Amino acid sequence: MNALLEIVDLKSFYGASQALHGVNLVVRPGEQIALIGRNGMGKTTLLKSIVGLLSDRRGRIGFAGTSTLRAKPEDIARKGLAYVPEGRGVFGSLSVVENLVMSARQGVSGSRRWTIDRVFEVFPRLHQRRGNGGHQLSGGEQQMLSIGRALMTNPDLILLDEATEGLAPLIAQEIWKTLGVIRAEGIATIVVDKDFRSLAKVADRMVVMAKGEVAFDGTPGELQANPAILERHLGI
Ligand code: ATP
């Protein structure tokens, strides 16, 4: 099957400092990719480079059949890419419903599968809190809202940074369950998280980053059978 996202020899820079040193990665439609590795290895930088938020990027990035290396974030988003950043970026002064409504749009192929009702079905907690302001929500509720907003754009690929960071275990479980729903819908995802075991249960592939490069790319089973990579890059 054709790649939805194809990254070849990607190098990204913060001013004079190089953070990515030639990343190669392919994501096929509907695939769930876990992006893991120790702190500071380039996971967030890779997500930001894909979304177009890092202006100095070199190499090749193809998304949905066109080159997006020089494209602006808003144009990349319109091609069917949704980004849930670390820290979530919920609008505190808007209600849950307002946060969701302002993100609503049909997908690239005209799909309108994700509506407010559908998001409330997946996250009943958000329905209970629908009139509350973003600033009144717990961290877990904000993460649900942030994922709900991404779904309201009817995307083909969602990038989710630090999916369960700082969340209570029960809430984190709900996020993992939602990732299963997203996968079943055929939406591709790249998920960054430190919870290796939960990722290994939901992901099609585990991609390990080290020093701005991909150190391993394989199935969860292949990674678990590779103690050297687990120990060196994940401390497991
Ligand atoms: P973490 O889990 O800690 O967020 P990460 O794998 O996502 O780690 P990045 O945040 O992408 O790693 O960082 C990769 C490298 O880029 C690090 O060396 C980091 O210090 C550097 N870096 C990140 N953001 C900036 C910035 N705004 N300016 C300069 N260097 C940066």
Whether residue 2 is predicted with pLDDT greater than 90 in this model: the reply is: no
Query: What pLDDT band is residue 207 in, cutting at 50, 70 and 90?
Result: very high
In the prediction, which pLDDT does 133 show? 93
What is the overall mean pLDDT for the chain?
94
pTM exceeds cut of 0.85: yes
Among 91, 100, 102, 55, CA closest to 76: 55
Closest residue CA from atom 17 of ligand 1: 40
Which CATH class, in words, describes the domain spanning 5-234?
Answer: alpha beta
Average pLDDT over residues 199-217: 96
Ligand 1 residue neighbourhood (C-beta within 6 Å)? 14, 17, 19, 37, 39-45
Residue whose CB lies within 8 A of the most ligand 1 atoms, among 13, 14, 196, for a mutation test: 14
Mean pLDDT confidence for 81-85: 95
Is residue 53 scored above 70 in pLDDT? yes
What pLDDT score does 87 carry? 76
Res 107: pLDDT: 87
Ligand 1 closest atom vs CA 194: 2
φ and ψ at residue 51, rounded to 5 degrees: -75, -15
Atom of ligand 1 nearest to the CA of 45: 11
